[in-house]
Amino acid sequence: MALQRNLSFIMIMISFVACYNEDLLSSIVEDSPYIYDGVTFKDFIKQIVDPALSLESKLGGLSPTSAKTFNVDDYGAQGDGKTDDTQAFKKVWEAACSSKKSVLVVAEKNYLLKPFTFSGPCKSNTITVQISGSLVASDNPSDYNQDPTHWLMFDSVQKLTVKGGGAIDGNGNIWWQNSCKKNKKLPCKNAPTALTLYKCNNLVVEDLTIKNGQQIHLQFQDSSNVRVSGLNVTAPEDSPNTDGIHVTNTENIRISSSFVGTGDDCISIVDGSKNLQATDITCGPGHGISIGSLGEDGSKQFVSGITVKGAKFSGTTNGVRIKTWQGGSGSASNIKFQNIQMKNVSNPIIIDQNYCDQESPCQEQKSAVEIRNVLYQNIKGTSASDVAMEFNCSKNSPCQGIVLQNIDLQLEGGGEAKASCNNVKLSYKGNVKPRCSKYIEEVNEDGGFGSTYI
């Protein structure tokens, strides 16, 4: 009887704590101040919630029904790295997707695959893809004639988990060699994204290596409630357009404890992305973590609620960057860059509202994507260039609400770095180095003195 009472009490507490999901907490404590050591009230609650949910799962969770296992080898896959195993994957996916609760197992072999979409919706309440081996992309461009922009895609699969310690290998060398960025004489064409998660809600991606992407390595598109952790995303530093993790039109996404080193952005966050947290990210080589580009060809685009916390950048061309084209509209707002280390980074902090990625000069435009409410807090390290901090903002729509708190950036090898600031309204808190050369003091809302560049 005592054991039964204790178990009942535990389950009641689990139910109570589990009710405080992260979305609800976000609405309650979004603006809670950070404690000195970086722990928020939200983090404190999460420390209670996560162990409770873990205990719930150990006790059996809400559904005691065991999952059915589907092994790709049982459906004809060879896994020798030479034989095309695409048809075997189609068969095993049809079976797994039709089961109520399923686990698709990819053994510790090398499976050669042509472009393939894991299509939903599935009958399964939950579905897990357990990748222990390697999925290797066909490097024959003719295999991609039907869809030249995707290799592997999960489309409209809900409550999906992709994990297992294995690798997804885009085998991208042939695309890199034929890129216009490698050979100026060639026309610019799109290359396949290695792995795309499209319209997948309540999604988990963890414990995977994704390497040598033909172009983007991992893309989250039109999805929500996404958890990403334990990824190792790699490509050569000179591989063109090989973004590590690309997020577009996706809400409520958490990316944590991952290493990304590629030839382009470690993480790129573009239109429609909202409520994204990236924590404990190691970035390098690559182009840093970028919000944008936004507003190309006069488009109206929005990004909001972005937090990058606890990142490390080493040898990257940029650190934390926001980039927008002239002539666009919309906004990038409510953004936090916190507790970040820079080592030999060419542009540690940069906002470019006049971004122009084309050979001919971009004509000056009157409209711009608004950039407002951006916090840079506890950022330290070294810059590979003289200008460690650059705000190149629009004359017609200056950057607003830019806050710099506890910044210490110096030149690699010693010496003072510089700041370049144009058309930006900013305030300083704590010790900030470098600083803009021209500013006036103003009274902040809390009664303290800050500064605004003029």
Catalytic positions, please?
287
Residue 413: how many other CB atoms lie within 10 Å: 8
Question: What six digits make up the tokens of 451?
Answer: 């500064």
Is residue 163 a contact partner of residue 208, using CB atoms and an 8 Å limit?
yes
Rounded to whole angstroms, the maximal C-alpha distance in the chain is: 80
Q: How buried is residue 227: exposed, middle or buried, by Cβ count under 10 Å (0-12/13-18/19+)?
A: middle
Closest CA to 154 of 115, 116, 117: 117
Please state whether the peptide bond connecting residue 293 to the residue before it is cis, i.e. omega within 30 degrees of 0. yes
Q: Pairing relation of β-strands 440-443 and 449-452?
A: antiparallel
Q: By C-alpha distance, which of 339, 243, 356, 241 is closest to 295?
A: 356
Distance of CA 18 to the CA centre of its chain: 26
For residue 342, the tally of other CB atoms under 10 A from its CB is 28
**Both structure tokens of 184:** 């100026």
Question: How buried is 360 (Cβ within 10 angstroms: 0-12 exposed, 13-18 middle, 19+ buried)?
Answer: exposed
Omega of the bond leading into 434 within 30 degrees of 0 (cis): yes
For residue 48, give the 3-state DSSP assignment.
Answer: helix
Q: Where are the beta strands (DSSP E) in 48-156?
A: 68-71, 80-84, 101-106, 110-113, 116-119, 126-131, 134-137, 150-155
Euclidean distance between CA atoms 400 and 370, whole angstroms? 8
What is the DSSP code string of 166-232? -EEE--THHHHHT-TTT-TTSPP----EEEEEES-EEEEEEEEEEES-SS-SEEEES-EEEEEEEEE
- Give the Cα separation of 358 and 317 in Å (integer): 18
Element (H or E) spanning 349, and its range? strand 347-355
Distance of CA 394 to the CA centre of its chain: 27
Other C-beta atoms lying within 10 Å of the C-beta of residue 454: 10
Helix then strand count (H, E) for the chain reads 5, 31
> Which candidate, 363, 338, 213, 222, places its Cα nearest to that of 280?
338
